[in-house]
Amino acid sequence: MSEIDKMPKKAPFSMQIDLSKFEKATEEEKKQQDVMSESTTFLKDSMRKLFKNPLAVFSIVVLVCIILLIVIAPKVVPYGYSEMLQVNGVRDKTAQNLAPMTYSENELAYMEETGEKLFPHIFGTDELCRDYFIRVVYGTRVSLSVGLFASIIVLIIGVLYGSISGYAGGKTDLIMMRVVDIIYSLPDMLVMILLSVVLKEVMPDMPGVLGKLGSNMIAIFMVFGLLYWVGMARLIRGQILSVKENEYVLAARTIGAKPGRIIRRHILPNCLSVIIITTALQIPSAIFTESFLSFIGLGVQAPMPSLGSLANAARGGLNSYPYKLLFPALMICLIVLALNLLGDGLRDALDPKLRK
Amino acid sequence: MSNEEKNVQKLVEVNGLKQYFPVKSGFGKTIPLKAVDGVSFDIMPGETLGLVGESGCGKTTVGRSILRLYEPTAGEVRYNGELITKKNMAEYRKEMQMVFQDPYSSLNPRMTVEDIIGEPLDVHKLYTSKGERRDKILHLMELVGLNAEHATRYAHEFSGGQRQRIGIARALAVDPKFIVCDEPVSALDVSIQAQVINMFEELQEKLGVAYLFIAHDLLVVHHISNRIAVMYLGKIVEIADADELNDNPMHPYTQSLLSAVPIPDPKIAKAKKRIVLEGDVPSPLKMPSGCAFRTRCKYATERCAQECPNLVDRGNGHKVACFNK
Ligand SMILES: Nc1ncnc2c1ncn2[C@@H]1O[C@H](COP(=O)(O)OP(=O)(O)OP(=O)(O)O)[C@@H](O)[C@H]1O
Ligand SMILES: [Mg+2]
């Protein structure tokens, strides 16, 4: 007979606590109180939590798939983004505006003749007889890297500037924030247009990737680096001003922690949710800015595509070829949605109060 | 010579400490808010000095100015005879610590308890290996009565009393000789107050630290302190041994404070007359001339409005700042 069964039984209908529901802690359970569980860092803890969030995992999977696609596809697909289709070394004029997964007349004839299988045009072709799938892949590449780089520039400059301004306070803060006000008042589009014109004059031929992207893209990066960080800097400063008032910051000073450590260990971690959300939203916003600029003809240099310029080009034949708008638009949606969900998940994972 | 010897004995010496905060009064003008206005006292090694006064009288500010969390406007603070008001504080951060008033905002919500208590060890590099760090943290947690399994949890998972213990463990990590305890128990409920106060006493016995124990509850302060200083509007109005102050309060403000202390025995309580102060505390921005307390003092005379009374020794180190009592 176990310990529990020996305990007095509860009378029916009585409000008394049923003692049989309680068990004595075993020696082992008591011991558990005295051992320190494996020490974890805040980061490890947060990552574990992130991977328990289904939406966040879903968005990570989507993003990884997209990245794999833009890395691998150009190696597998035998067409180039600027290459007009050829059959047997001759330009294939019948391959204009093909529907997804179809072949042109010339290609069909060629396959009939040789028995060789040609790589399918997964998304069809455009009006210049270029494979549309590879153009969308390259467009995604361009848009994603524009978004990522622009956001990283904004993140670094904004966080550095904002945290120095907020932490130093007083006169430093006043002067730094007036500089921000001045930059805020500059018209960004005008600066971007002027910069791209000037860059075209000054550096007509740039080597490597930069040259392919064109002076417009460099102007976009520069404008993000010069102008767009101010929003981030303001947000960070405001957040730091409020976090700074907490007594744990005073406590860290009492301990003798240096300002750098205080910013790194105490202030920034408590501004993380704002930083993450803003960055997660900054990437789509940079993608949209680039799309908009491509739309007005200031984006990437043709024939290099971006999702924005592809969508713009698709407007013309919207009635006949709606899928040409659908594919780049779908890609933008996927990227933006995944980034937003990931940002949300990260914010939750980094907040210990939401920890289960 | 004998004076010098005395100086060496004292652990902390505060002399004419003033802390004014600039307050904006519209159109770019600033006026000083005299949060602390000429405070002097000293603390011996291993001693507890209680500091009482109503809300807003500048207790917290005194504590923080001593630790140079604020730059004092005037006055000097000596630690072990060394003037620290003009010095680099880095080396004194190991000697003087603080337990903060608010157990909720004084712990970083994004750090585990282990890291909170370990931070002073990290900053001063007080360990040689990870294992040693862990052992030290465990020892500190045990010292303040926390379980080892609490180490990997975050601050929000704890009750107010447990949080206060974490704060205390953090202060003890560097082995300080002097701790400013800023109302460490006023945010806690009464049953836990007693626990935490007893813990402070035990720690003092074990480690020989000196406390500046700030509170607004005279009962609590009387229980733990060797001496008590009473503050009113940025000034110390009376300072004496704890029992002496309790039995023989001289300043009218102290008398009214003591009369407000609840007494468990109803018979004695009835016999005692409660002195109720008239009027409100004046704003520290518009201090009355002369004695700050005169607007609410029934003994106030002409002289009180013109001169500010200094602390005068009435024997046995019982100092009072009042002309009439
Ligand atoms: N950083 C600051 N800037 C301006 N004024 C301040 C500042 N800190 C405190 N004060 C003012 O100084 C006065 C004293 O504040 P302090 O916090 O020292 O009071 P306290 O005695 O600790 O009160 P409590 O018992 O409520 O904690 C108050 O009038 C307060 O408004
Ligand atoms: Mg206070």
Q: Which chain B residue has its CA at the smallest distance from A242's CA?
A: B105
Most confident residue range from A282-291, A296-305, B164-173: B164-173
Q: Which of B20, B24, B30, B33 to mutate to test the pocket of ligand 1 (most atoms within 8 A of CB)?
A: B33
CA of B58 to the centre of ligand 1 (A): 5
Contact B119 A36 (CB under 8 A): no
CB < 8 Å to B149, chain A: 32-37
Test B170 with A352 for CB contact under 8 angstroms.
Answer: no
Torsion, Cα of B290, B296, B300, B302 (10° steps): 50
Say how many Å lie between the CA of residue B60 and the centre of ligand 1.
Answer: 7
d(CA B239, CA A329): 77
pLDDT > 90? residue B117: yes
Average pLDDT, chain B: 88
3-state helix, strand, coil split of chain B in percent (to 5) is 35, 20, 40
Mutate to test the pocket of ligand 1, among B61, B231, B287 (most ligand atoms within 8 A of CB): B61
Q: Does B133 touch chain A (CB under 8 A)?
A: no
Prediction ipTM score:
0.87
Q: Is B234 touching ligand 1 by the criterion CB < 6 Å?
A: no
Instruction: Count CB neighbours of A35 within 10 A.
Output: 12
For B175, which residue in chain A has the nearest alpha carbon? A255
pLDDT tens by residue, B267-306: 777 777 777 777 788 888 888 888 889 888 888 888 888 8
pLDDT at A38 over 90: no
Q: What SS3 state is found at B50?
A: strand
Verify whether the Cβ–Cβ distance B97 to A254 is below 8 Å: yes
A20: amino acid identity, one letter: S
- CB atoms near residue A72 (< 10 Å): 11
Domains of chain A, by residue range, sit at 140-305
Of B89, B101, B148, the CB nearest to A34: B148
| Structure confidence by residue, pLDDT tens digits, A128-178 | 888 899 999 999 998 898 888 889 999 999 999 999 999 888 899 999 999
Q: Check CB contact of B256 with chain A, cutoff 8 Å.
A: no
Name the one residue in this structure whose structure tokens are 């307050």: B23
In CATH, the number for domain A140-305 is 1.10.3720.10
Spatial CA neighbour of A41 closest among B94, B122, B140, B98: B122
Reported pTM:
0.79
Find the CB nearest A250 among B69, B123, B138: B69
Distance from CA of A215 to the nearest CA of B (A): 44
B183 alpha carbon to ligand 2 midpoint, in Å?
7
Is residue A222 within 8 A of residue B80, CB to CB? The reply is no
- Pocket lining: B60 vs ligand 1, CB cutoff 6 Å: yes
User: Residue A183 has what pLDDT?
Assistant: 92
Q: Quick one: pLDDT band at residue B1, thresholds 50, 70, 90?
A: very low
How many CB pairs below 8 Å do chains A and B form together?
Answer: 102
All structural domains of chain B, each given as residue ranges with its CATH number in brackets, are 3-95+176-240 (3.40.50.300)
* CB contact B109 to A (< 8 Å): yes
Residue B307 amino acid letter: E
Interface of A with B (CB under 8 A): 32-40, 42, 45, 246-248, 250-257, 261, 265-266, 269-270, 272, 350, 352-353, 355
Query: Which of the four pLDDT bands, split at 50, 70 and 90, describes residue A5?
Result: low
Q: Which of B9, B17, B15 is nearest to B81 (CA)?
A: B9
Mean of the pLDDT values across residues B116-124? 94
CB of B65 within 6 A of ligand 1: the answer is no
| Residues A38 and B130 sit within 8 Å (Cβ to Cβ) | no
How far, in Å, CA of B184 to CA of B189, rounded? 12
Q: Are A265 and B105 in contact (CB < 8 Å)?
A: no
Task: Inform me whether the pLDDT recorded for B178 exceeds 90.
Answer: yes
Q: Which band of pLDDT confidence, cut at 50, 70 and 90, is reported for residue A47?
A: confident
Mind telling me how many Å the CA of A65 is from chain B's nearest CA? 32
**10 Å Cβ neighbour count for A8?**
9
Q: Does the beta-carbon distance from A39 to B112 stay under 8 Å?
A: yes
Interchain contact, B119 vs A257, CB within 8 Å:
yes
Contact A248 B114 (CB under 8 A): no
